[in-house]
Amino acid sequence: MGRNREEIIKDAEDSILHTYNRFPVVFDHGRGVYLYDTDGREYLDFGAGIAVSALGYGNEEYGAAVKAQVDKLLHISNLYYNEPVAEAAKLLTEAAGMERVFFTNSGTEAVEGAVKAAKKYAYLRDGHAGHEIIAMNHSFHGRSLGALSVTGNAHYREPFEPLLPGVRFAEFNQLESVKALINERTCAIILETVQGEGGIYPATAEFLEGVRALCNAHDILLILDEIQCGMGRCGAMFAWQRYGVKPDIMTAAKALGCGVPVGAFLMTERVAKRSLAPGDHGTTYGGNPLAGAVVTTVLKMMERDDVTGHVNEVAPYLEQKLDELAASFDFVTERRGLGLMQGLVCKKPVGEIAAQALSGELIVLTAGSDVLRFVPPLIIEKEHIDEMAEKLSAVFRAVGKI
């Protein structure tokens, strides 16, 4: 008999640094698109561990691949080759249509590497340092100091300043604001193809095409952050592929490992030849055999099972159900998103709505101060969308009376 929920929560609160306000639930295991807590309650999961668990929970094929590699070899360092990561690199670069990849342990580290690559590219091009980066307001790229420097939320940045110098912020989906910031020191423009934490804002085609044209004209590198919106979530393996606007550098993580921590930044051969060289960047754990085996398994399963095709099949139904909810409750003002990355804009406190949903055994997330975020496992079916809509409608009816 395991310990009860209160004991587990007390141990966590007594020992873990308080950087999260956690909900009072202890999850024990999962199966498919459902999670189960230590009290045996079943929760429909439309959060997927913040867009990580794309293949759902308890997938036997995925689990077998992880276990087999654990029994074989976990770590050797990047001083030597290993087969799993070599295969993963081949599959991932092919899926992205890019030529080079560096494996990291997280999305934040992927952003750090992408920024370093852009700075080194400009250093070699111009023969000096001191270059600038254009990022977007309301963006989110991670919590480390470099990634935080290009995160467009002053609330996150201010306590940790001074941060990386030479970062200037434009308005997402406003091309003229980007154009106004470009100067001879600009080395990169970084943006999320679909803004996540900032409120589920997809880039417009005109904006993305315009930024690409600006980069081409000024020899500026376009960095697209696909950490949350990539890996099939938006109906293509990477969201930028829906627009036909290819980046020079791309970051990936979250569903890349479907639970095992792994991230990556990828680049074209042109950038690779003119940026990071031996000694410029490294990692102890990144690209270890376990991560390689997991990435290989995820990519093969997604390809074989046509996960992007499934997303394109069920996403319109999710949009329909969310639109119906928005039409039924006057405090829900808008739906926006792409594929299985959707948001509802609410005039009621979204944190309270998420808490009420959890009490009703439905997991939804928030994004920014006024958006409910829906990033379910990519294996959801229409029946799960119906169940979500029914549960959320009950929550909305209760919240609407407050």
Question: 290-328 pLDDT, tens per residue?
Answer: 999 999 999 999 999 999 999 999 999 999 999 999 999
What's the whole-model pTM score? 0.97
Cα atoms in the Cβ-side hemisphere of radius 13 Å centred on 96: 29
How big is the CA angle at 364 (ends 359 and 369), to the nearest 5 degrees?
Answer: 105
Among 66, 232, 249, 241, CA closest to 150: 249
Cis peptide before 377 (omega within 30 of 0): no
Domains in the chain, please, with CATH? 5-59+306-400 (3.90.1150.10), 73-304 (3.40.640.10)
The pLDDT value recorded for residue 402 is 58
Residue 112, pLDDT above cutoff 70:
yes
CA-to-CA dists, residue 69 to 66, 82, 182, 204, angstroms? 5, 12, 47, 42
Distance of alpha carbon 367 from alpha carbon 343, whole angstroms: 8
Among 11, 20, 282, 236, CA closest to 143: 20
Distance of alpha carbon 353 from alpha carbon 364, whole angstroms: 9
The pLDDT value recorded for residue 3 is 81
What kind and span of H or E run contains 85?
helix 83-96
pLDDT band at 200 (very low <50, low <70, confident <90, very high): very high
Q: What is the mean pLDDT of residues 215-243?
A: 98
The pLDDT value recorded for residue 257 is 98
Q: What is the mean pLDDT of residues 195-219?
A: 97
